[in-house]
Chain A
């Protein structure tokens, strides 16, 4: 599964809407519960853990991508 597919699946949106600028303020389905589901799904998909600051700071797709890249994941 690609990064885009993982994010789209967790947030229940069309993959076309998973752009770097998309975020909690632009995607109505990115609720607080979906945010948790997104983090859990990413942790499982890439076998890593987010710390508190990373969970709280990931407000856009770009933020999420940056966190994963900082952990050595190529996305």
Chain B
């Protein structure tokens, strides 16, 4: 229960911090092939505690390449100081290296420090129990790609790597995944994984900003009981300073000739078995590997970054509009009610109203997405339902739907109501030259 309570306390603190105005020291952008928002409380509070308050811009679900290559994207507009990119094999398959290339190119253009989250090895193995014996197996392929990425980024002054596999292992593979939450909101991991990822990301950013603790202050009276942790700290290169009373850490730091932010007080819980994890999570064991260590494998030849048009074309997206029937009605209503970003904002879908409604079926090279949206049009050519699930955004699906509507119905008008979240819909329709009937 301790870990659960600790994580809940961090989330509560983050919630409270959201209501306070602090000038950010770091402006971070976060792109992932899954919903990564749950990492923000852990990363944000750790950075705040290190004296590096951060603001975050998160990109839309599974649109890393699109955000990196489109100069009008949310992330391009943000031009973050730090770009965190977290792809997974499950969503990206053999496009993963394309994602890395796009992220590196974007970070260079924006002057961002790139932190690439190495994807964890997928749990599902294509060849079952026989997967491990061949280079074509899931594990072998994943390790190959992971090490290619590590080699690509190792030694670069403007990039670092954090490993999602380590976060999954730390949480325990049996407790790391949340299939129901993934189905509902594309959140694949449980809170302990996000906590580990947040701690690791914070460790990198502390090092980048030179605030990795150089001295660790230890209360003299507790030192005898902390033999093992103190040994770990010494082995990691930390300088230990023992204090007799309650002298402020900042004063001791000054006396040692280091900035206040480079000193930290050693705080450990009551359970010795948890001390190692606590120290790792605190970042007190962090130290930079020797810079001259060469990568274990050669980098790839210089890659030409794919264009956004080529990337989307390579997805082989197929869109099919099918009339809604009894077997698809419930799913269509659910998809429309859950679409928040790409929707006309005209409210809940009532299939009893007099209009044609089509379910939008989508598939691409990664597989079948099923009913991923809906479009409804009246006999007068008024489109008052046009909703797409975030899962299929960024693939050009909306363009295909619009084209099909125009081919079949000619001059159409879109009835649109602005909501707090559907700005991209209006932007798309405007860019496409669509006629819009704005309603209050």
Chain A residues in the interface with B (C-beta under 8 A): 9, 12, 32-33, 36-37, 39-41, 44-45, 49-52, 54-56
What are 8 A-B pairs at a CB distance below 8 A? A9-B12, A32-B340, A33-B37, A36-B181, A52-B180, A52-B183, A52-B184, A55-B184
Cross-chain contact A50 with B180 (CB below 8 angstroms):
yes
Chain B residues in the interface with A (C-beta under 8 A): 4, 7-8, 11-12, 15, 37-38, 178-181, 183-185, 187, 191, 334, 340
Shortest C-beta distance, A67 to chain B (Å), equals 12
Residues of A with C-beta under 8 A to B184: 36, 52, 55-56
List 17 other contacts, CB 8 Å, given A44-B7, A45-B8: A12-B15, A32-B340, A33-B37, A36-B38, A36-B181, A37-B11, A39-B181, A40-B38, A40-B191, A44-B191, A49-B180, A50-B180, A52-B179, A54-B180, A55-B180, A55-B181, A56-B184
Q: How far is A50 from B178 in the complex, measured between Cα atoms in Å?
A: 10
Shortest C-beta distance, A15 to chain B (Å), equals 15
Q: How far is A9 from B184 in the complex, measured between Cα atoms in Å?
A: 22
Shortest C-beta distance, A37 to chain B (Å), equals 7
Shortest C-beta distance, A30 to chain B (Å), equals 13
Shortest C-beta distance, A11 to chain B (Å), equals 10
Residues of B with C-beta under 8 A to A39: 181
- Nearest residue, chain B, Cβ from A41: B8
Q: How far is A45 from B183 in the complex, measured between Cα atoms in Å?
A: 22
- Nearest residue, chain B, Cβ from A44: B4
Beyond A12-B15, A36-B38, is A44–B8 a contact (Cβ under 8 Å)?
yes
Shortest C-beta distance, B376 to chain A (Å), equals 22
Residues of A with C-beta under 8 A to B191: 40, 44
Most chain B CB atoms below 10 A, which of A37, A40, A45: A40
Q: How far is A30 from B212 in the complex, measured between Cα atoms in Å?
A: 38
- Nearest residue, chain B, Cβ from A50: B180
Q: How far is A39 from B38 in the complex, measured between Cα atoms in Å?
A: 13
Cross-chain contact B180 with A51 (CB below 8 angstroms):
yes
Cross-chain contact A32 with B185 (CB below 8 angstroms):
yes
Q: How far is A8 from B15 in the complex, measured between Cα atoms in Å?
A: 13
Q: How far is A32 from B180 in the complex, measured between Cα atoms in Å?
A: 15
Q: How far is A34 from B313 in the complex, measured between Cα atoms in Å?
A: 36
Shortest C-beta distance, A46 to chain B (Å), equals 11
Residues of B with C-beta under 8 A to A49: 178, 180
Shortest C-beta distance, B232 to chain A (Å), equals 29
Residues of B with C-beta under 8 A to A32: 185, 340
Q: How far is A33 from B185 in the complex, measured between Cα atoms in Å?
A: 9
Q: How far is A50 from B179 in the complex, measured between Cα atoms in Å?
A: 10
Q: How far is A12 from B37 in the complex, measured between Cα atoms in Å?
A: 18
Shortest C-beta distance, A5 to chain B (Å), equals 12
Shortest C-beta distance, B300 to chain A (Å), equals 38
Most chain A CB atoms below 10 A, which of B4, B38, B181: B181
Residues of A with C-beta under 8 A to B15: 12
Residues of B with C-beta under 8 A to A36: 38, 181, 184-185, 187
- Nearest residue, chain A, Cβ from B183: A52
Q: How far is A9 from B178 in the complex, measured between Cα atoms in Å?
A: 22
Q: How far is A43 from B183 in the complex, measured between Cα atoms in Å?
A: 16
Q: How far is A44 from B5 in the complex, measured between Cα atoms in Å?
A: 8
Q: How far is A41 from B11 in the complex, measured between Cα atoms in Å?
A: 10
Residues of A with C-beta under 8 A to B38: 36, 40
Residues of A with C-beta under 8 A to B179: 52
Residues of B with C-beta under 8 A to A40: 38, 181, 191
Q: How far is A37 from B179 in the complex, measured between Cα atoms in Å?
A: 16
Residues of A with C-beta under 8 A to B7: 44
Shortest C-beta distance, A34 to chain B (Å), equals 9
Residues of A with C-beta under 8 A to B37: 33
Q: How far is A19 from B3 in the complex, measured between Cα atoms in Å?
A: 30
- Nearest residue, chain B, Cβ from A53: B180
Minimum-distance CB pairs A-B, first 4: A52-B180, A44-B4, A52-B183, A55-B184
Q: How far is A13 from B38 in the complex, measured between Cα atoms in Å?
A: 20
Most chain A CB atoms below 10 A, which of B7, B8, B15, B187: B8
Shortest C-beta distance, B339 to chain A (Å), equals 11
Q: How far is A55 from B187 in the complex, measured between Cα atoms in Å?
A: 13
Q: How far is A22 from B268 in the complex, measured between Cα atoms in Å?
A: 41
Residues of A with C-beta under 8 A to B12: 9
Shortest C-beta distance, B355 to chain A (Å), equals 24
Residues of B with C-beta under 8 A to A41: 8, 11
Q: How far is A45 from B7 in the complex, measured between Cα atoms in Å?
A: 11
Q: How far is A49 from B178 in the complex, measured between Cα atoms in Å?
A: 9
Shortest C-beta distance, A28 to chain B (Å), equals 10
Shortest C-beta distance, A53 to chain B (Å), equals 9
